[in-house]
Chain A
């Protein structure tokens, strides 16, 4: 376990360690669970990784809402496989977080008690089938931009989980884009459904990258320590640049009148994000914050007797094996 390390009173020994640590990660070096690390690095990673894991798990709910109504057997299987992957990804990242000396139990409790954050995007409702397309295309698209960066994070277990996740998530975005493309060349009702979903999911997707750089307290430190390699605004810009031509290709319109290509910077300029909405949802007052947490609590509470039964059975068997061995 890393030593306690308050920034105000660093012992000469810890100051030397910190310097060596920062030089190491500054050169792109990896940090492994048993290596010395500043307590704040450990805390930041626990915060960031558990938030990421919670997002995967809560993220199952909006899409899960459409599994039983998916309009074809193929779409049903794809959606099931995708939502299942999200459970898997939550699981990988929880396990990565556990290498920092915290149990999954504590992390889950923090989520259920409303003390931990998860991505605000999952506090929006999925109203039509096209929302499943929009989520795959935009939400997973944004996640991939972020996660491709995190696959190079300085903390080894996080980076390794991200590499696995990026490989698996490739199909998530494609299936979403395929849904949107199919709808937009479908019946007028289907095309309208696709445009409506895009209108509702576009801005929340941009918010997924977090506050702008001028208002992001953790960014500088995370970049210094090699956890993040790019700022929120850089990632957001990359996502917009990638997505604009994709929308054009399938005949859908992004709901931003200020969208302009800048020949000089070779980037797409976009309008101002509604930061009031962003903070409202972050603070728990989005359309589905309450429902999402309640669904997770219900699953956890209803499952308590199941987890207990399996443990009781294992304990009996262990006792039995010891008794027969003796």
Chain B
């Protein structure tokens, strides 16, 4: 076969997002992506690509197209209202000197 003459429908497989947990009790965090034809191979590929140096104790793989993300234009309405609610933070409350709350 020569260049530009690859089989019709040949792909690099669908994209999956990979989340790794670095230690027990820690949250799963986004590590990157892999391509895989199905969930089992996505898991194996994620293991081989993102835990080569023992970086994880647990893995999640999610089809990239299953993720719904907020859009940049949402940034204002979504997140700014949370910025002025000081009463959600413990520093908002006065505690008599010398008292240990926890």
A161 neighbours in B (Cβ, 8 Å): 32
B49 neighbours in A (Cβ, 8 Å): 88, 91
Q: Do the beta carbons of B1 and A301 come within 8 Å of each other?
A: yes
Q: Do the beta carbons of A35 and B72 come within 8 Å of each other?
A: yes
Give complex CA distance A105, B7 in Å. 12
Instruction: Decide if the interface of chain B is mainly helix, strand, loop or mixed.
Output: loop
Instruction: Decide if the interface of chain A is mainly helix, strand, loop or mixed.
Output: helix
A323 within 8 A of B: no
Q: Do the beta carbons of B10 and A304 come within 8 Å of each other?
A: yes
A308 within 8 A of B: yes
Offer 30 A-B interface pairs, CB within 8 angstroms, sorted by A.
Answer: A32-B72, A34-B72, A36-B72, A84-B52, A85-B52, A88-B49, A91-B34, A95-B34, A98-B33, A104-B12, A105-B10, A105-B12, A108-B12, A109-B4, A112-B3, A112-B6, A113-B3, A164-B32, A300-B6, A301-B1, A304-B1, A304-B10, A307-B10, A307-B37, A308-B9, A308-B10, A310-B38, A310-B41, A313-B37, A313-B38
A113 neighbours in B (Cβ, 8 Å): 3-4
Complex interface bits, A59-89 against B, C-beta within 8 A gives 1, otherwise 0: 0000000000000000000000100110010
Residues of A within 8 A of B (CB): 32, 34-36, 81, 84-85, 88, 91-92, 95, 98, 103-105, 108-109, 112-114, 161, 164, 168, 297, 300-301, 304, 307-308, 310-311, 313-314, 317
* A-B CB contacts (within 8 Å), total count: 67
